[in-house]
Structure 1
Amino acid sequence: MKNAQRTNDLAIVGIKAMVGVVVLILAALLGYILITGLPHVSWKFLTTTSKEFGAGGGIANQLFNSIYILIITLVISCPLALGAGIYLSEFAKPSFLTSSIRTTIEVLSSLPSIVIGLFGYLILVIKFQFDFSIISGAFALMFVNIPLLTRNTEEALHAVPHSQREAGWALGLSKTRTIMKIILPAAVPGLVTGVILSAGRIFGEAAALIFTAGQSTPVISYSDWNPMSPTSFLNPMRPAETLAVHIWKLNTNGITPDANQISSGASAVLILVILAIIILSRWLGNFLYRKMSGTK
């Protein structure tokens, strides 16, 4: 008995040590990025373009482009992934078709983003002549996002106890109404977690966007709200260099004398925005859960 207890204690200590190593690695990585980058971040750095700031600084366009592409990608992919996840979890019966769908999702989720970028370049940019544009980047990232969200949706719905489904059926609710009124509200925290993970990956994606959204941003006006105008910041058909692509280009091309400082500052901003997305999404997930489930 003592030997078993000692083994159990050693196993717990080992697991805690491994968790501690992971936390230390993450803290060191984030600490290095923030310590080296935050001194170069200022309000002017965030709200002006490179031409307005001087030299190569100013990331207003890149920051807005990243957020804009993130929103469009989520708007396109979330409904599709939610529908696919609900079908696989609640309606699909074991069959060759269901197995093929799951295999396809696994293959898509494991594809390197550079391959998706090249596919988007050949199909969206060349074949359909969308050129380098925000919409091309959003559609390319859709192929990255849908497999992750679909798999997460299915797992989140599977995590809801089957007794809750039976309770809905006992009340005379249809299967669809049970899903909408009982299962989905209970699965909201898991669903929001999936959106968090996918949003973070989308915001930090570079390889797929190099070949689809482009590596430059034309002159745009933030006072032009007409999405069809070539100079409008809302125009989805214009090229758009995102923050992650901007960091990659600065570190590979070194096109400005202050490339290291701008790259460090932009990296810190990238990390802070992802952390803000996580915090906001968790708050929103808890709020939606309380709202939809009627709990306080």
Structure 2
Amino acid sequence: MNSKTTDRIATGFFWASGIIIMLLLAWFLIRILGDGLPKLSWHFITGRPEELMAGGGVGPQLFNSFYILFLSLLISSPIGVGAGVYLAIYAKKSRFTDLVRISVEALSSVPSIVFGLFGFLLFVNWAGWKFSIIGGAATVSLLNLPVLVRVTEEAIRAVPESYWEASLALGSTRWQAIRKVLIPAALPTLITGITLVAGRALGESAILIYTAGLSVSRKTPDFNIFSMGETLSTHLWYIQSEALVPDAKDIAQGSAALLLLVVLVFNLLIGIPSRYLQKKLSGGK
């Protein structure tokens, strides 16, 4: 078999793989949005849920989803980015740093249900926070940390070494070079990493069932971090498995469509500025 035939076969395989993925994605979107979009209304998106009567909404759950996301990023982003910078710049090659990298990679593959059980033992029981928004956010931040550390380290290492050397040659300290040269150059990749963990946090349910609970506060919005914090994803699970409302199927379909739209819009709102920033930093190429 000559090289041209091999090239055609490989090209056809990759094209077929791409088309199959696109068709699966299109089918998924059409199925979820087709069933759920007719169920969406302003009352459904902003209203309170009902336990026994039909016609409830998901307003508190939608608020809790973004509130827990914000708190989890507030906790995990500084720690994850700081640890990644340390591993990329300050840490010398040793058995300890190798152990840290292996541990980070191992943690990034741990199932979320394990983090949920750990958060239940640590924050709900030992810390005495009970089922709460802060307990859920702290546990989600533990889930996000390994990914943020690895993304930050790789983003910093991907910056051309000449940037670092030129900054130090001009008299910058290490911290000044990191703050004014390396992090701005690696910012598009860092934003992409934060977007990935944010999208994962928005759709997370296993962790929050064990830490944030399956109930919401009586008032909306409730910024009390020790209130119970059922999110849209956990509400979807609850509606499908244990709800007593007669329109549970409609609520589940509407919640699934709303959750999908929220994740898509959130990724677009962050992804588009990130692409623009990347082009600007690369000189518009």
* Residue of structure 1 equivalent to 2:266: 277
The answer to whether the 8 Å contact 2:51/2:245 transfers is no
Matched, 1:87 2:76: no
Q: Which amino acid aligns with 1:246?
A: H
**Which 5+ residue runs of structure 2 have no aligned equivalent?**
none
CA RMSD of aligned residues (A): 2.1
Provide the rounded CA distance (Å) in 2 between the counterparts of 1:154 and 1:221. Answer: 39
Q: Which amino acid aligns with 2:232?
A: L
Provide the rounded CA distance (Å) in 2 between the counterparts of 1:5 and 1:33. Answer: 42
TM-score relative to the length of structure 1 = 0.90
Matched, 1:37 2:36: yes
Once the two structures are TM-superposed, the CA of residue 289 in structure 1 deviates from its matched residue by 5.6
**Which 5+ residue runs of structure 1 have no aligned equivalent?**
223-232
Deviation sequence 1:155-184 (CA, Å, 0-9, x none): 111211212222222322222222211111
Deviation sequence 1:175-198 (CA, Å, 0-9, x none): 222221111111111001101110
Q: Which amino acid aligns with 2:256?
A: S
Provide the rounded CA distance (Å) in 2 between the counterparts of 1:65 and 1:166. Answer: 45
* Residue of structure 2 equivalent to 1:259: 248
The answer to whether the 8 Å contact 2:53/2:245 transfers is no
Find the residue that maps to 1:211 and give its secondary structure.
helix
Q: Which amino acid aligns with 2:214?
A: Q
Once the two structures are TM-superposed, the CA of residue 53 in structure 1 deviates from its matched residue by 12
1:222-237 map, 5 Å: 222=221, 233-237=222-226
* Residue of structure 2 equivalent to 1:238: 227
Deviation sequence 1:97-137 (CA, Å, 0-9, x none): 10111122112211111111111111111111101000000
1:70-219 map, 5 Å: 70-219=69-218
* Residue of structure 2 equivalent to 1:229: none
Provide the rounded CA distance (Å) in 2 between the counterparts of 1:114 and 1:287. Answer: 36
The answer to whether the 8 Å contact 1:89/1:154 transfers is yes
Report sequence identity in percent.
43
Find the residue that maps to 2:81 and give its secondary structure.
helix
Q: Which amino acid aligns with 1:180?
A: R
Q: Which consecutive aligned stretches of 4+ in structure 1 deviate over 6 angstroms post-superposition?
A: none
Deviation sequence 1:188-218 (CA, Å, 0-9, x none): 1100110111000000000000010001113
Provide the rounded CA distance (Å) in 2 between the counterparts of 1:183 and 1:239. Answer: 40
The answer to whether the 8 Å contact 2:168/2:174 transfers is yes
Work out the number of aligned pairs and report it.
Answer: 284
The answer to whether the 8 Å contact 2:215/2:229 transfers is yes
Deviation sequence 1:48-84 (CA, Å, 0-9, x none): 1124995252000000000000000000100000000
